[in-house]
Amino acid sequence: MFNVPPAVLATVAVLVLVHALRMLILTQIQDGRSLDAEFLLTFAFIPARYDPHLVVSLPGGFGAELWTFFTYAFLHADLLHIGLNVAWLIPFGSALERRFGSWRYASFMLVVAAAGAFTHLATHPGAMVPMIGASAAISGAMAAALRFVFQQGAPLGLWRLDGNNAAYRLPASPLMATLRNPRFLIFLGTWIGVNALFGLGTLSMGQEAGQEVAWQAHIGGFIAGLLLFNAFDPVTPQQPGFDRRRSN
């Protein structure tokens, strides 16, 4: 938490800069149109963009059909929205970056963001309301981190390995073993419960239209993070030379 990797700090900086751009610069009205609304329609994820029967023209054209699977994650509704996402990104993103390295971390975050967008598209076909926010990508990072942080000797294990990075170099438990870990199950149950409350409307991120929580995208990102972890993990089960001594 107090030694955040540069790649995670860069992620936070980009999220903050994009939000500052929208709030401080794109507030003007030009030719009767809000620059921020135009920016939102160009870079947010809008399921209606993929509806062949759509009669409204959305900015960005074919390019936006591709880049919005990723760019929506850099947009946020307000300071509360971005603040909550940053608060979750720092611990889980840091754990993931320390294990993956900067480039694998960045690539993984983009892939799970796209998985969240695909899930939202599948559950909201034709919807015109834009989806924004890094929550799906952070859910993926959370799921990936849970693949290794709870095992013995790992960052949240009962016993830590000596050295600053050794805890992040332990081979991860197999997926089925992770799914049987009691602490993982408690965390998962709590996380699903919170998302269920969002889905039932018990909790919300705001009262304005369009500020409903896209909980299906969260779940899509989370599942993608669990399943795709091994594809990005540089630590192999056969990697030798681990010091398993318990630290004092």
Residue 108 lies in a domain: yes
Helix (H, G, I), strand (E, B) or coil at 6: helix
Residue 211 lies in a domain: yes
Residue 242 lies in a domain: no
Residue 91 lies in a domain: yes
Structure confidence at residue 235 (pLDDT): 85
CA angle at 198 for the pair 122 and 209, rounded to the nearest 5°: 80
C-alpha–C-alpha distance, residues 166 and 155, integer Å: 9
Residue indicated by tokens 């860069």: 10
Residue 24 one-letter amino acid: L
Q: What is the residue-level pLDDT of the chain in tens, covering all 248 positions?
A: 568 899 999 999 999 999 999 999 998 877 667 899 999 999 999 999 998 887 678 898 889 999 999 999 999 999 999 999 999 999 999 999 999 999 999 999 999 999 999 999 999 999 999 999 999 999 999 999 998 887 766 665 444 444 456 667 788 888 998 898 888 899 888 888 877 776 554 334 444 444 567 889 999 999 999 999 999 999 876 544 444 444 33
**Residue-range definition of the domain harbouring residue 130:** 6-232
Quote the pTM value: 0.84
Residue 246 lies in a domain: no
CA angle at 220 for the pair 219 and 225, rounded to the nearest 5°: 95
Residue 239 lies in a domain: no
Structure confidence at residue 218 (pLDDT): 93
Residue 146 lies in a domain: yes
Residue 248 lies in a domain: no
Helix (H, G, I), strand (E, B) or coil at 164: coil
User: How many separate domains does the chain show?
Assistant: 1
Structure confidence at residue 29 (pLDDT): 78
- For residue 50, give the CATH number of its domain: 1.20.1540.10
Structure confidence at residue 187 (pLDDT): 87
Beta-bridge mates of residue 131: 45
C-alpha–C-alpha distance, residues 97 and 6, integer Å: 9
